[in-house]
Structure 1
Amino acid sequence: MKARRGMVAAVLAAAALVLSACAGLPASGPVNPGLAAGDDAFSPEFLFRPDEPQPGATPEQIVDGFVRAGSGPGPAANWDVARMFLAPSIRETWNPEASVTIDLPDARTTVSPTEGAVALSLVAVATVDQAGAYQPAEAGATQLSFRLAQQDNGEWRITEAPDGVVVDRDVFANVFHRYSLMYFDPTWQFLVPDVRWFPTTNAATRISKALVNGAPSPWLLDSVRNAFPEGVSLARPSVPLESGVAQVALSADALLIEPATLDRMQTQLTASLATAGVSRALMSVASAPLEAEPVSTRSTRVTGPPLVLTDEGFGFLAGDELTQIPGLSAAMANVTPAAIQVATDRDFAAVRLTDGTVARVPATNGIAVVDVRAGLVNPSADPFGYIWSVPRDQPSAVTVFSVDGQQFPIADAWPGATQIVAMAVSRDGARVAALLVAGDRTEVRVAGIVRGDDNRPLRIGDPVPLGALPGAGSGLAWLDDVSLGVLTARPEGPLFTEQLVGGPSATIEAPLGAASIAGATSISSVRLRAEDGSLYVKRGANWQRTAGGILVLATQQGSPQ
């Protein structure tokens, strides 16, 4: 038994080293290419087998062993070791996939207040529900209750246990992986990711099942479209990979679907499975392939040099050379910007001027001040030409401004917040994020955007908290489609947090004086401007100063097609 425990400890130590080297869970980066034929997408490099129940174990030891066994080998073997700790009466009815509680390592304690009862105390950092949605947990201890009984052989076994598993935070990334279910925005132009966490085994099956049989996360439900009709479902319980191609068998109702919808279904399926390393998918009904091809979608990538305002003008800075944007750079010379966000097609910019007002600066004539309220935060431009603006001390007073100058209030935005530091619309126009103060907490929240005619924003859905921040908020930007960059200020120096929308965050120190932030889908995904005009880019875990004299670091909502 000692030898086995030694081997388990060694493997766990190796896991900790691997995880620490990764500096947290991945929260950004390009889609991985497809795997070679026959490879198992995102297979764990190793699996540890926890100890089985030991003869003479006490009730506390049985519960402790059961909880530890929830981490592995897990779904690969239907949590067979964990089930050994259960009495026959609940061995088959216990549902390990009901939820995941992610807790701090070495913070678990067990007590037995009465014979046959055990209470497990732990510190949860997050939960993952049955649909794979990640939710940060409120700080504080959580208690789980168990009942046990001695079996005919005198050994204690669990007779009552909560469904779901508890997984150590440092082991979670070996058992579960981040995937994105891809939905369309209401205009069928953009793909919008909905991040889910599934066990690393049978990823293609879990993704396909969630996409075809399931629904978008509740906070996104009214902001995206699913091409898969409600009457269509998976015809088989699994999605096998044959020569690297996911074989997705659908119910007979799929035969009645029009070609345009089939193509959109193929688009969602291909893009979703790509996050598991599967490059192709074949839809079929009763073994007969369905003819479908992925449709073209609008890109949300931001590539190339940073977009800045200097004494020489406004444009893309590469080395010492500034490349201007036709029309827009000339128009920017006619205003005094404090913050700039450039629209996808670079035909206009949403600008906060140095006098505090918000203006629309088009690439052609017609600069217009659209919001003159006091204390406005930096504005945001969405893909459909609307400018979003809100006063810092009135988080619920969000207003959007159309191209023709009309203004429309967004009712009841950001409930419970007392102050808003920053607000940013995603590049697909389906989501909006905010850096808020609520009580004594600074936190990031995200909400879906509900649109009406002419793609006009009508309201935002119920905001989802992504996590509290270690300091006073000072800046927010979308880095890519699934992650946000956040700047916070502390007396000892600023911090940069990379926050996954639907996942954990990772925080590192930022350069001294860091004051504004912009994101890009390139090697240097994060760009910071310091108060002295220095420009920094993030390369790996380090910051590199690349330029000086930057008056404004602009953010971009994409690149022209």
Structure 2
Amino acid sequence: MTAPRSGTGRRAALVPAFLLALAVLAGCASVPDSSPVQVLRQVGGSEDALVPPGPVAGSNPLDLVRDFVFASGSSTERHGAARRFLSADAAGWDDAAGLTVLDGQFDTVPAPGAASPSSDTTTIRIRGTAIGRLTSSGAFEPGQATFQQDVTVVRRDGQWRISSLPPGVVVPLSVFRDNYKPVRVWFVDPVRRLAVVDVRHVPSLPARAQAARVMELLLAGPSGALAGAAVSLFPPGAQLRANVTTADDGAVVVDLTRLGDLDESSRMLLAAQVVLSLSEVNVGRVRLLADGEPLIPDREDLTREDVAALSAEVEPGADVPGLVVAGGRVRQLSGPEPSAPLPGPLGNGAYDVRSAASTVDGSRLAAVAGVGGRQELLLGAIDAGDVEPVPLSAGTMTRPSWTPTGGEVWTVLDSSVVARVLVDDNAPPRTGRVNADELAGHGPIEDLRLSRDGVRVVAVVGGGLYTGAVARTLDGEVAIRNVRRLRSDDLGAVVAADWRSTESIVAITRSPEMLVGQVSIDGLVAQQIVSNNLTAPLTAIAAAANRPLWVTDQTGVWSFGGGEQVAWRQVLAGAPDAVPLYPG
């Protein structure tokens, strides 16, 4: 969701776009980026790319390098627009060696020790803050850090050109978002056998090439962020038998070969990968073939609706109420009786409940309760008159989190041990551990939430916001892998986080510059959410797709739905200890 920003920040990324201006200072060309930080999801559009202009006659070295960086956003014809800024000496520039995205603003300044511009050769430094890299597979890998890069410029026939530069491309975020489109490419959870999302970024133009690019990404397999957690149903060696084309009746034709001997369920999952992924680039109907014959017998053409049931995405239904833990009791926070306690011991005060979580379907509840100076985990049906203690006890437990099926609930014991409880209607709960060494290596785990497709976690570790993949083996081992920190400089000290969607996370922080923020799963997008009428510090947050955000401040629980809403609305007063929760 896009929300207005409030306050001022140390980065131009937190300043409204209409306040930005280009400033050319003596000896320094500073280029502010625009705000809010947001990736455009433009679909289709004109096939005629707006090619950035070439070098301006008479440009000084600083302006030349600045304009080169802007032109580098267009990848058409191997960054043909940017290559017009190069001399013949730099014709071998390796533009395929990765793309670095800069946040906020960047400067072009003379490099230390550079020759005077009065000479015919000098060195210009590009400096700014990098937020990460786009790999050759279109995956964005976060990594916020100071950036600087030196390029050599020469004067030939009175005009400056770049004669030497490092491999790879450097672009500010505003340029990147104008030239690349985020696409959800789909792979498979090998245990549940359902399709899951892997976010990639493909050039926006030419739009006609996007379907072919998506197929390349599918054939190459999941990105590093999902390694061990997702697989592809494309066997090794599978490839396109012919180029992706559009038939006369409008169907996009994808003809595959070397698929081997796939059973019926594997063929349907492979079809789901293709159809769901191509729907992201405006392909409504896919004619999916294997060696010229329909991949799914008697189903020559497939649409998103045909494979939607194979998506692992699960969201709570509109009839499943949100809850809140306040004053030691679990209460309704939405639904027909807001703030009414739940029936049974978790709502009547029999236990000192500290936090809770309900399954996506709203049928089962897990609660952390204080018992004799320790904390214990309790399980029960929401409408049941009793609960069942789980053989877990710790000094502290994080708010529980359920897997999509409701078969497991996770919590973190004493900020270090990630525990999971296997829940079965026909057997007592069984406890197990999750190998979270990679996550715990960054510090104490203060909050952890499973994504609603079950293949990722978001966690607050040592005040930082981290994501990881849930890697499962068929023999039941579970580990958190591929841990990455998101937007360390922008977010500062994070308090708690939750999933807004499978691609978006919301978090509360101690930073007045971004008290409530939303971050994309890969860390590319960071947006400040309005917080003008909240009373810091904030202590809890809950989110779900198509539901208002809930946060707890020093006066109670507040709701924000975006859209035309310009301030938070209080939904529960006098409850600074409240912990709101949506199913999941």
TM-score with structure 1 setting the length: 0.80
CA contact (8 A) 2:468 2:481 kept: yes
The equivalent of 2:25 in structure 1 is: none
Shift of 1:445: 0.9
CA–CA distance in structure 1, aligned partners of residues 229 and 54 of structure 2: 47
CA–CA distance in structure 2, aligned partners of residues 79 and 255 of structure 1: 38
CA contact (8 A) 1:102 1:172 kept: no
Amino acid paired to 1:350:
A
Q: 456, 467, 474: which is aligned to 1:431?
A: 456
Shift of 1:235: 3.6
| 3-state SS, counterpart of residue 389 of structure 1 | strand
Q: 1:370 to 1:20 in 2, by over 3 A?
A: farther
Shift of 1:221: 1.2
Q: 325, 332, 336: which is aligned to 2:346?
A: 332
CA contact (8 A) 1:358 1:379 kept: no
CA–CA distance in structure 1, aligned partners of residues 148 and 244 of structure 2: 35
CA–CA distance in structure 2, aligned partners of residues 210 and 531 of structure 1: 47
Q: 45, 49, 59: which is aligned to 1:43?
A: 45
1:402 matched to 2:422: yes
- Deviation sequence 1:493-521 (CA, Å, 0-9, x none): 98111111112211234322543211121
Q: 449, 472, 476: which is aligned to 2:497?
A: 476
Amino acid paired to 2:335:
A
Shift of 1:471: 4.3
The equivalent of 2:377 in structure 1 is: 359
The equivalent of 2:542 in structure 1 is: 518
Amino acid paired to 2:186:
M
1:135 matched to 2:136: no
| 3-state SS, counterpart of residue 400 of structure 1 | strand
Shift of 1:268: 1.4
CA contact (8 A) 1:314 1:329 kept: no
What is the correspondence of 1:460-475 to structure 2 with a 5 Å cutoff? 460-468=480-488, 470-475=491-496
Return 333-342 or 40-49, whichever deviates more.
40-49
The equivalent of 2:10 in structure 1 is: none
The equivalent of 1:81 in structure 2 is: 81
Q: 1:70 to 1:402 in 2, by over 3 A?
A: same
The equivalent of 2:218 in structure 1 is: 211
CA–CA distance in structure 1, aligned partners of residues 104 and 434 of structure 2: 43
CA contact (8 A) 2:235 2:260 kept: no
CA contact (8 A) 1:236 1:249 kept: yes
CA–CA distance in structure 2, aligned partners of residues 497 and 428 of structure 1: 22
Q: 1:495 to 1:15 in 2, by over 3 A?
A: closer
1:95 matched to 2:101: no
Q: 237, 255, 273: which is aligned to 2:278?
A: 273
Q: 523, 537, 554: which is aligned to 2:560?
A: 537
The equivalent of 1:176 in structure 2 is: 180
Amino acid paired to 1:113:
A
Cα RMSD (Å) of the superposition?
Answer: 3.7
CA–CA distance in structure 2, aligned partners of residues 463 and 244 of structure 1: 42
| 3-state SS, counterpart of residue 447 of structure 2 | strand
| 3-state SS, counterpart of residue 113 of structure 1 | coil
The equivalent of 1:300 in structure 2 is: 314
Q: 1:501 to 1:44 in 2, by over 3 A?
A: farther
1:497 matched to 2:510: no
The equivalent of 1:4 in structure 2 is: none
CA contact (8 A) 1:536 1:544 kept: yes
Return 368-377 or 283-292, whichever deviates more.
283-292
What is the correspondence of 1:111-130 to structure 2 with a 5 Å cutoff? 111=111, 113-114=114-115, 116=121, 118-126=123-131, 127-130=133-136
The equivalent of 1:10 in structure 2 is: none
Amino acid paired to 1:332:
L
Amino acid paired to 2:71:
A
Shift of 1:98: 3.3
CA–CA distance in structure 1, aligned partners of residues 243 and 368 of structure 2: 53
Gaps of 5+ in 2: 1-16, 22-31, 424-428
Q: 1:137 to 1:405 in 2, by over 3 A?
A: closer
CA–CA distance in structure 2, aligned partners of residues 263 and 474 of structure 1: 42
Shift of 1:288: 4.5
1:25 matched to 2:51: no
The equivalent of 2:195 in structure 1 is: 191
1:348 matched to 2:370: no
Q: 1:263 to 1:416 in 2, by over 3 A?
A: same
CA–CA distance in structure 2, aligned partners of residues 235 and 282 of structure 1: 13
CA–CA distance in structure 2, aligned partners of residues 259 and 538 of structure 1: 43
CA contact (8 A) 1:529 1:535 kept: yes
Amino acid paired to 1:259:
E
Gaps of 5+ in 1: 1-12, 33-39
CA contact (8 A) 1:184 1:224 kept: yes
1:283 matched to 2:288: yes
CA–CA distance in structure 2, aligned partners of residues 203 and 500 of structure 1: 22
CA contact (8 A) 1:181 1:195 kept: yes
The equivalent of 1:317 in structure 2 is: 334
The equivalent of 1:7 in structure 2 is: none
Q: 1:155 to 1:552 in 2, by over 3 A?
A: closer
CA–CA distance in structure 2, aligned partners of residues 162 and 54 of structure 1: 23
1:222 matched to 2:253: no
The equivalent of 1:389 in structure 2 is: 411
Return 275-284 or 168-177, whichever deviates more.
275-284
| 3-state SS, counterpart of residue 405 of structure 1 | strand
TM-score with structure 2 setting the length: 0.77
Q: 1:186 to 1:360 in 2, by over 3 A?
A: farther
CA contact (8 A) 1:535 1:546 kept: yes
Q: 1:483 to 1:234 in 2, by over 3 A?
A: same
The equivalent of 2:581 in structure 1 is: 555
- Deviation sequence 1:106-126 (CA, Å, 0-9, x none): 523344825545342221332
- Deviation sequence 1:186-244 (CA, Å, 0-9, x none): 234543211112211233222221112x1212231101121122221234465658665
Return 92-101 or 294-303, whichever deviates more.
92-101
Shift of 1:254: 3.1
| 3-state SS, counterpart of residue 181 of structure 2 | strand
CA contact (8 A) 1:103 1:166 kept: no
CA contact (8 A) 1:386 1:400 kept: yes
Shift of 1:424: 0.8
Amino acid paired to 2:255:
A
Q: 1:505 to 1:60 in 2, by over 3 A?
A: closer
Return 457-466 or 303-312, whichever deviates more.
303-312
Amino acid paired to 2:409:
I
CA–CA distance in structure 2, aligned partners of residues 192 and 525 of structure 1: 24
Return 416-425 or 292-301, whichever deviates more.
292-301
1:419 matched to 2:437: no
- Deviation sequence 1:446-484 (CA, Å, 0-9, x none): 111122347x45221131111215443222111111111
Shift of 1:428: 1.7
Q: 1:248 to 1:329 in 2, by over 3 A?
A: farther
